[in-house]
Amino acid sequence: MLCIPVLLKETDRAALDRGMATIQSNYANSVKRGRFSPQVAEDRLKRITPTLTYDDFSKVDLVIEAVFEGMALKKAIFQELIASANLAPSSRVNTSTLSIDDIASATSRPESVIGTHFFSPANVMRLLEIVRGKASSKEVVATCMQLSKTLGKVGVLVGNCRGFVGNRMFGPYRREAQFLIEKVRASKRWTRRFPISAWRWGLSATGDPRRTRCRLAYPQKNIVTWKCPGFASRLSKTAFCELGRYGQKTAAGWYKYDDQRRAAPDPAVGELIRKWVEEAGIAQRQISAAEITDRCLYALVNEGARILEEGYALRASDIDIIYINGYGFPAYRGVRCGMPTPWASNGFTTASVNSNASMVKPGSPHRC
């Protein structure tokens, strides 16, 4: 793999030192696990130059910003680059939800701006969604695809819509799971593993490593939401954050965590769910593992079909690649013609699925 010289910019010395310390720790762990030799790790660290200014940015080929998920903040970064006359030939926005076109509108060269959704943790996850904006040039797209190979990533070109491909599909998927948590009589069923489908992480557990305060800091301004007739809001949507349960960062989310970030069931979560259900007057019932699987994966399948229909994925196999490499979908279940459509054609049960208002009806308005 080619080692690329990097300028690492931060706003103050303390933040810059923390960032470098984290990078050094990551390399030390990689050496300990045998992934790199000490010499390779040392050589790569020498290629990182920490800085507090844009002075040397005129020498770089591309800029990747990675600030919090705030539209105003990301636009401000690009305006600073323009003001310092240091907007690189190719500038990348690292985001998982925000509109690349809106961010590019803050520059005088929108053709140089493209989205890069590095999956977290970026030093481990292979998937890289490359998000083409309306004005992104072919040269910038080609350069970004080549960069993904240079970095050892699996790059997939996607369109610019809410959540792009991966997270846009994952939203209705996890949303349905959280409705089921409220509906199912035996909430102990919801362990860290997803029933039947053999994903490494359950749908609740996936939120704990990522849930941060910034999700409350930008609740409606920067995340485009969509509603269909009869749609209900899940009770747990922001309740955990309002209670200070930010996941692994605070050792409490859907699960509680020890100092090694190992998850364990938290009785307090069960009490919270029972409280929400009683206050909302939700009637609970026994729900089979087959129905749980069908309802969650139907939500995933339907959203994938919309993405293909609207042209935000170039081909069904691109969705396969995204879900195998970014979300751990079990490839052995047969992935072809667009994940997880083959799962649907090969394995859906015929059980009656009554998801009431939580499912999208065919023909419901849904556009990015």
Instruction: Tokens 């020890």: give the residue.
Output: 258
**Sheet of 62-65, strand order:** 62-65, 90-93, 113-118, 127-132, 154-159
- What pLDDT shows up at residue 231? 53
Contact between 296 and 194 (Cβ < 8 Å): yes
Average pLDDT in the 144-163 region? 94
Residue 69's CB is within 10 A of a number of other CB atoms, namely 18
pLDDT tens digit sequence for 183-217:
887 545 444 444 444 455 666 667 677 655 444 44
Mean pLDDT (the chain) is: 79
Of residues 237 and 150, more confidence is placed in 150
* pLDDT tens digits, 281-305: 888 898 888 888 888 888 888 899 8
pTM for the full predicted model: 0.79
Higher pLDDT, 70 or 136: 136
Judge contact between 111 and 136, C-beta under 8 A.
yes
Confidence of residue 347 (pLDDT cuts 50, 70, 90): very low
Task: Count how many Cα atoms sit within 13 Å of the Cα of residue 199 in the half-sphere of its side chain.
Answer: 23
The burial class, CB within 10 Å (0-12 / 13-18 / 19+), for 142 is exposed
- Residue 249 is predicted with a pLDDT of 82
* Average pLDDT for 173-180: 85
